[in-house]
Amino acid sequence: MVVPKDTVTPDEIFHRSWLRELVLRVLKTLETECLATGKRTHFELLRLRIIEPILEGSEAPSLRALAAKYELGEKEVANHVLTARRAYHRLLREEIRFYARNDEEVADEIQDLWRFMAE
C-alpha cells in the first residue's frame, strides 16, 4: 500500500497560521472600533454572516434569519454587513502595511488571505 505524502510544507503551515492570526487580530481591532462608535450590531452581523462561516466552514445564516434575530430589515442587515466589511478591509490593509515594503506587497498579502479564506 502506498501512503500519500503530505504535500504541505512547514512554511505553508506557518503562513496559514499567520494568516488565521492576522484575520483574528484585525477582527478584534474591528470589534473595538465598532464598540467605540456604537456599531456593535454591525460587527456582530459581519461576524455571523461572513467571518464565522469562513473560519468554521459552516453555512452563513440568511439575511432573513439575521434580520429576525436583530429586529432589522433585510436591507438594513445587508447595509450593516457591507459597512463593517469595508471597515474590516481598511483595518486589514493598515495592519499589513506595518510589515509590507510597498503597496504591491500589501496587495499580494491580501490576495493570499482571500485564497486562504476560500479553502
Whether residue 70 lies inside any domain: the answer is: yes
Answer whether residue 66 shows pLDDT above 90.
yes
The mean pLDDT of 88-98, rounded to a whole number, is 91
Q: What are the start-end ranges of the H helices in 7-73?
A: 10-36, 40-46, 52-56, 63-70
Whether residue 95 lies inside any domain: the answer is: yes
Domain count of the fold of the chain: 1
CA distances from 5 to 2, 8, 9, 27, 88 (A): 9, 9, 11, 35, 37
Whether residue 17 lies inside any domain: the answer is: no
Q: Which domain holds residue 64?
A: 31-118
- Report the pLDDT value the prediction gives residue 43, as an integer from 0 to 100: 97
Whole-model pTM: value is 0.80
Which band of pLDDT confidence, cut at 50, 70 and 90, is reported for residue 4? low
Which band of pLDDT confidence, cut at 50, 70 and 90, is reported for residue 6? low
Whether residue 18 lies inside any domain: the answer is: no
pLDDT digits (tens, 9 = 90+) for 78-88: 999 999 999 99
pLDDT digits (tens, 9 = 90+) for 8-60: 788 878 877 888 888 889 999 999 999 999 999 999 999 999 988 987 888 99
Whether residue 24 lies inside any domain: the answer is: no
Whether residue 73 lies inside any domain: the answer is: yes
